[in-house]
């Protein structure tokens, strides 16, 4: 795979796993993250270029893409992966958390997409991949802020895809379910469900790079279930949420186990 790829939020989790797999496939990978120490360590481990990037800043994001192209050549793929997940009762979410979540999860993706398209459209080729979430299609108590941010990413990505689809550039959304990263610290698994691993999401992203399509749900079997679920009566949806524990999973969590993650995303 002789492609030049830049990935944000890639010092850990899904971003790091994706960088590792793409590198193994032969891509030239540049990773970015706001955490300088973590991205430097990750880059040294992988043997790739690691750069600091604040996805909420146009100047920082532009500099990241400039330096990525200096290191890897014209970018074939930009993966907007950076994101945060504050959870808990909607009345307990601070205004600062709300602004930061939307700045990173929504405006960061929008900014990264626009900057990438500014480079790719004149060339008539390229692929923007936005890491959304099934939370953009399925809504749960205690997840209102994250749900809103990921729903925005899904809508923005699809509208942008339709806008540029005849100009040689692909735009795709990736919608993972619960994945074993820091985002789910202190939370129980939904009853009867096995969480995905970051490597599962990475494999889906690599498949998208090789064969672009509008959207990838992980695991794939959930795509049909989500579509059917949207048609169910409200009382059935509520009963199913109770059965699988989804009505409380983002409200009854171990706050101590999430302290380190919460402190990091608010730093």
Whether the CA torsion 222, 209, 170, 56 is positive or negative: it is positive
pLDDT tens, 185-206?
999 988 888 899 999 999 999 9
Nearest CA to 79 among 43, 128, 25? Answer: 128
Q: Where are the alpha helices (DSSP H) in 29-143?
A: 36-46, 58-72, 95-102, 108-123
pTM score? 0.95
CA–CA dist 94, 193 (Å, integer): 31
Res 70 pLDDT > 80: yes
- What is the rounded CA–CA span in Å between residue 218 and residue 206? 13
Instruction: List, in order of start, the domains of the chain with CATH numbers.
Output: 4-266 (3.40.50.720)
Q: DSSP code of 189? A: P
Q: What would the pLDDT profile of 203-245 be if each residue is shown by its tens digit?
A: 999 999 999 999 999 999 998 888 888 888 999 989 989 998 9
CB-side exposure of 134: number of CA atoms within 13 Å? 22
d(CA 8, CA 51): 9
Q: Kindly state the percentage of the chain with pLDDT values over 90.
A: 90
State pLDDT tens for residues 129-151.
Answer: 999 999 999 999 999 999 999 99
Averaged pLDDT score across all residues of the chain: 96
Please list the active-site residues.
146
Task: Evaluate whether 80 touches 32 at the Cβ level (below 8 Å).
Answer: no
CA-CA distance, 160 to 78, in Å (whole number)?
14
Residue 267 pLDDT class (50, 70, 90 cuts): confident
What integer is the mean pLDDT of 5-13?
98
Give residue-wise pLDDT tens across range 79-125: 999 999 999 999 999 999 999 999 999 999 999 999 999 999 999 99
Is residue 1 predicted with pLDDT exceeding 80? no
Crossing angle for the helix pair 144-164 and 108-123, to the nearest 10 degrees: 10
């Amino acid at each position: 795979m002789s492609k030049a790829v830049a990935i944000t939020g890639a010092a850990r989790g899904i971003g790091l796993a994706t960088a590792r797999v793409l590198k193994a496939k032969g891509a030239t990978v540049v990773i970015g993250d706001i955490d300088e120490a973590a991205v430097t360590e990750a880059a040294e481990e992988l043997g790739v270029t690691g750069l600091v990037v604040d996805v909420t800043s146009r100047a920082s994001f532009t500099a990241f893409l400039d330096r990525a192209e200096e290191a890897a050549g014209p970018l074939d793929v930009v993966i907007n992966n950076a994101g945060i997940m504050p959870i808990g009762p909607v009345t307990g979410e601070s205004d600062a958390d709300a602004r930061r979540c939307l700045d990173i999860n929504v405006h960061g993706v929008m900014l990264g997409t626009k900057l990438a398209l500014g480079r790719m459209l004149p060339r008539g080729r390229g692929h923007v991949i936005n890491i959304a979430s099934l939370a953009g299609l399925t809504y749960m108590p205690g997840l209102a802020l994250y749900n809103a941010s990921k729903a925005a990413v899904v809508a923005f990505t699809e509208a942008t895809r339709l806008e540029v689809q005849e100009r040689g550039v692909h735009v795709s959304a990736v919608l993972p379910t619960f994945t074993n990263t820091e985002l789910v610290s202190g939370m129980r698994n939904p009853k009867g469900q096995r969480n995905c691993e970051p490597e599962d999401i990475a494999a889906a992203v690599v498949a998208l790079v090789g064969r672009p399509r509008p959207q990838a749900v992980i695991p794939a079997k959930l795509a049909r279930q989500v579509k059917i679920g949207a048609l169910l009566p409200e009382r059935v949806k509520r009963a199913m949420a109770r059965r699988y524990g989804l009505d409380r999973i983002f409200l009854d969590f171990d706050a101590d186990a999430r302290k380190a993650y919460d402190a990091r995303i608010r730093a």
